[in-house]
Amino acid sequence: MRLGLFGGSFDPVHYGHLLLAECCRAQCGLDRVWFLPAANPPHKKGQQLSPAEQRVAMLRLATAGHEPFEVNTHEIDRGGTSYTVDTLRHFHEMHGDDELFLLVGADMLADLPNWREADEICRLALPVAVRRPSSAKLNFDGLDSIASAERINQIRAHQVEMPEIGTSSTELRSRVAAGRSIRFQTPRAVEEYIRMHGLYR
């Protein structure tokens, strides 16, 4: 199976997340995409996240009805800081016969050499870089220190293009806090969940 792994805080999930996952699924021929909500993202230390069970509930509402999408709570169940390399080791052991693809944005690809055990990340899973029309051209030069020439060529061959969508979790939280509408920026079920549970106010 060709399995895409998409990590993040998803606080809240929005249409940008879903579109990125679907573009990766379609353009890379992935059989499944697993959304992996983080327990404690290392790049967001000190930032207060919504409770894990609420972020998971919103993800399940957002992905319901689309069979290739699944929510996997491994990082939350494990607890602690959610380092990508630890997650990939787990899935490599549990799903050794599957091809693993790590879905990342263009900015994350540029920063990948700074991640913990970045060379091991590239060995365990193939990073799939997603580029929006407004993004700068993907730069693969920095990968020389963490991946072989063959692996970099594979990463180049799996670039994904997605339409521009100007939505972010930060913006959604700000809009909710200000009493502004988030209609058509996240699935209706997620919008209702946020309203019913008084999130971000």
Task: Please state the three-class secondary structure of 181-198 as a single string.
Answer: CCCCCCCHHHHHHHHHCC
Amino acid 96: pLDDT:
83
Q: What is the pLDDT of residues 11-49, one digit of tens each?
A: 999 999 999 999 999 999 999 999 999 998 876 666 789
Q: What pLDDT is attached to residue 130? A: 94
Select the highest-mean-pLDDT range: 2-16, 100-114, 131-145.
2-16
**Packed helices 188-196 and 52-63: angle between N→C axes, nearest 10 degrees:** 150
Do the domain assignments include residue 107? yes
Structure confidence at residue 44 (pLDDT): 63
Would residue 97 count as lying in a domain? yes
CA 194 – CA 155 distance, rounded (Å): 37
Average pLDDT, the chain: 94
The domain of 113 spans 2-165
Does residue 196 lie in a domain region? no
- pTM of structure: 0.94
Place of tokens 């879905």: 103
d(CA 14, CA 161): 18
Lowest mean pLDDT among 44-48, 53-57, 59-63, 76-80: 44-48
Higher pLDDT, 50 or 96: 50
CA distance 127 to 115: 13
d(CA 116, CA 146): 11
State residue 176's pLDDT score.
98
DSSP string, 34-89: EEEE-SB-GGGTTPPPPPHHHHHHHHHHHHTT-TTEEE--HHHHH-SB--HHHHHH
Residue 79 DSSP SS3: coil
Confidence of residue 132 (pLDDT cuts 50, 70, 90): confident
Question: Using CA atoms, how far apart are residues 173 and 194, in angstroms rounded to an integer?
Answer: 10
In a domain, 173, yes or no: no
If residue 76 lies in a helix (H) or strand (E), which one and from where to where? helix 74-78
Please state the domain count of the chain.
Answer: 1
Please indicate whether residue 92 or residue 135 has the higher confidence score (pLDDT): 92
CATH no. for residue 91? 3.40.50.620
CA-CA distance, 151 to 26, in Å (whole number)?
21
Residue 178 lies in a domain: no
One-letter amino acid identity for 10?
A: F
In a domain, 174, yes or no: no
Number of H helices, E strands in the chain: 9, 6
Q: Note the pLDDT tens digit of each residue in 154-180.
A: 999 999 999 998 899 999 999 999 999
Q: CA-to-CA distance for 134 and 140, rounded, in angstroms?
A: 18
Higher pLDDT, 55 or 141: 55
